[in-house]
Each structure stands twice: as C-alpha cells, then as structure tokens.
C-alpha cells in the first residue's frame, strides 16, 4: 500500500511531519529517500519541533548520527549518505531498539541494515516548490499511521 501526498511548500512537508509525529511510538523508524534538496531535512526539523525538541536540527552528514534527548521521546537523526561504500559497522541497528524515534536520511544507501518494519518516505522533486511524497509502510503500525494521516 502506497500513499502519495503532494507537497506544494516546505509548510506542507512540515505539516506531514507533524501529523506523523502525532502518531509516534517508541522504536519508530522513518526512512527518508530523495535527492539533495528534496525536503528530507525540512521533514526532520518539523518532526523534531513537534516532539518538543528546541535544539537546532542540522543534517548530521559528518557525524552520521545525532541524538536529541530533550523531547517527548529521544530522536536519533541519521544521515547515512557517506556510508554507501563503507563496510564499517557503526551500530545503526542498535538505535532501532532504544525506545526513541529513528529518522534516517538517504536510507536507500543502507537497505540491508533497515528494520523489517518501518515507514519509508520517498521525496520526488517536481519543481522548485512541489514535491510528491510517497509513503510506503512496512508493518501494521506503519499501515495504521498511513491510514490516519491520509
């Protein structure tokens, strides 16, 4: 089951993130896939704000993982772009069971390390402001979220 949502602005993308955040649960994993500038970090920033995180959210390109613990649930924000060719074990899978929300940018780079149950959001750039967001749920909890927000 795929859900397609058209975002006409950063506001629309942020609104989707807030709606998904309202359905959050411990050990939730959200995988973001899309080109540079497609809205992945905009999504993460809005999700973090909705969680109550006040710290400035930036893409953790060089850190790979940033942890934010001052919200309703911990947020583990990953940018795995630089791991594409890496065979190094950095313990990404450990975060899936730490009772927080894990959001992974460039998740398609580490498909073999993703959990079986997750929500994938594919960002497709249409023009300067417009994006098609395709939500693909893997698992009942994620299917339920897609039903609630669509």
State residue 59's pLDDT score. 72
Give the whole-angstrom CA distance, residue 41 versus residue 54: 15
Question: What tokens does 44 get?
Answer: 């993460």
Domain formed by 3-81+96-149, architecture: 3-Layer(aba) Sandwich (3.40)
In DSSP terms, which residues pair with 107 in a beta bridge?
A: none
> What's the predicted TM-score (pTM) here?
0.93
Q: State the Cα angle at 144 between 143 and 150, rounded to 5°.
A: 90
pLDDT (average), residues 55-60:
80
State residue 89's pLDDT score. 65
Q: State the Cα angle at 124 between 119 and 125, rounded to 5°.
A: 145
């Amino acid at each position: 089951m795929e859900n397609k949502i058209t975002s006409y602005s950063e506001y629309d993308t942020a609104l989707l993130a807030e709606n998904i955040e309202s359905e959050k649960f411990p050990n939730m994993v959200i995988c973001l896939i899309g080109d540079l500038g497609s809205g992945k970090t905009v999504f993460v920033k809005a999700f973090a704000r909705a969680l109550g995180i006040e710290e400035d959210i930036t893409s953790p390109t060089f850190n790979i993982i940033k942890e934010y613990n001052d919200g309703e649930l911990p947020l583990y924000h990953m940018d795995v772009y630089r791991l594409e060719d890496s065979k190094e074990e950095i313990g990404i899978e450990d975060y899936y069971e730490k009772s927080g929300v894990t959001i992974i940018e460039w998740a398609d780079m580490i498909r073999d390390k993703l959990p079986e149950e997750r929500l994938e959001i594919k960002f497709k750039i249409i023009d300067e402001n417009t994006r098609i967001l395709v939500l693909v749920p893997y698992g009942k909890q994620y299917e339920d979220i897609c039903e609630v927000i669509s």
